[in-house]
């Protein structure tokens, strides 16, 4: 996939409320291209969660159109979405969506066993670089949110992708771990020539963005 196009997209909740939006995304025509890095700056209540949900295809409560390489995503079949989420789209959820009853390692391996994308040594190195090597066998439910955030990030890298979406990826990380996460992200996306779409309500990844859009 090379391009994602938003054409006059607006969440139903905003059209129903009648609110006047000062947005560079909603009700606009924008193109997100593979190989470029985007920051979507958002204030609370501007639809950040909706934005990510639409891109990943698990909500469609909007007017307008979203196109993946010219195809309206509302026309995609379930099997096509499965393929896209396995090979073209990766998402780091704001709420992480890890399994608390499983260990950090098990949470990552669920994804990697589906894709067979990373080898064991690569995954171990991610855990080491992000400072959670000693937490591999800890239950996620007993880890801090910042530690869980790093586990979810590693999981998001365990697949091929044309675009990776990161919803507030460093909200609970200190500056050093934020820098490490940024470095790993840039290494992986450069290797895959992927597009990066980061959302934030204030704490940004310290990387050079090709374009910043206000949601």
Fold of 3-214: Rossmann fold (3.40.50)
Average pLDDT value for the chain: 95
Instruction: Write out pLDDT tens, residues 102-123.
Output: 999 999 999 999 999 999 999 9
pLDDT confidence of residue 45: 81
pTM metric for this prediction: 0.94
In this structure, of 10-19, 84-93, 138-147, 203-212, the range with the lowest mean pLDDT score is 10-19
Provide the strand spans (E) within 20-129. Answer: 29-33, 37-41, 62-68, 71-72, 89-92
C-alpha neighbours within 13 Å on the C-beta side of residue 85? 19
Asked whether residue 16 carries a pLDDT value surpassing 80, the answer given is no
- DSSP structural state of residue 173: -
More confident residue, 49 or 84: 84
pLDDT confidence of residue 204: 83
Judged by DSSP in three states, 210 sits in: coil
Asked whether residue 30 carries a pLDDT value surpassing 80, the answer given is yes
Euclidean distance between CA atoms 178 and 119, whole angstroms: 24
Which residue in the block uniquely carries the two structure tokens 């998402």? 91
Asked whether residue 183 carries a pLDDT value surpassing 70, the answer given is yes
pLDDT confidence of residue 117: 97
Mean pLDDT of 31-48: 93
Mean pLDDT of 163-183: 95
């Amino acid at each position: 996939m090379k391009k994602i196009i938003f054409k006059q997209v607006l969440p139903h909740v905003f059209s129903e409320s009648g609110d006047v939006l000062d947005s560079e995304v909603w009700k606009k025509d924008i193109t997100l291209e593979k190989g470029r890095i985007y920051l979507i700056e958002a204030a609370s209540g501007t639809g950040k969660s909706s934005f990510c949900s639409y891109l990943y295809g698990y909500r469609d409560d909007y007017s307008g159109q979203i196109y993946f390489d010219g195809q309206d995503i509302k026309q995609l079949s379930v099997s096509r979405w499965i393929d896209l989420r396995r090979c073209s789209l990766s998402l780091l959820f704001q709420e992480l969506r890890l399994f608390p009853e499983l260990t950090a390692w098990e949470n990552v391996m669920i994804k990697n066993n589906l894709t067979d994308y990373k080898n064991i040594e690569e995954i171990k190195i991610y855990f080491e670089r992000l400072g959670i090597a000693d937490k591999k066998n800890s239950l996620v439910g007993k880890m801090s949110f910042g530690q869980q955030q790093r586990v979810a990030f590693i999981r998001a890298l365990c697949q091929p992708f044309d675009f990776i979406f990161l919803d507030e990826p460093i909200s609970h990380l200190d500056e050093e771990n934020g820098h490490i996460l940024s470095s790993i992200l840039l290494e992986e996306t450069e290797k895959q020539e992927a597009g990066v779409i980061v959302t934030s309500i204030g704490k940004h990844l310290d990387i050079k963005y090709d374009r910043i859009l206000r949601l």
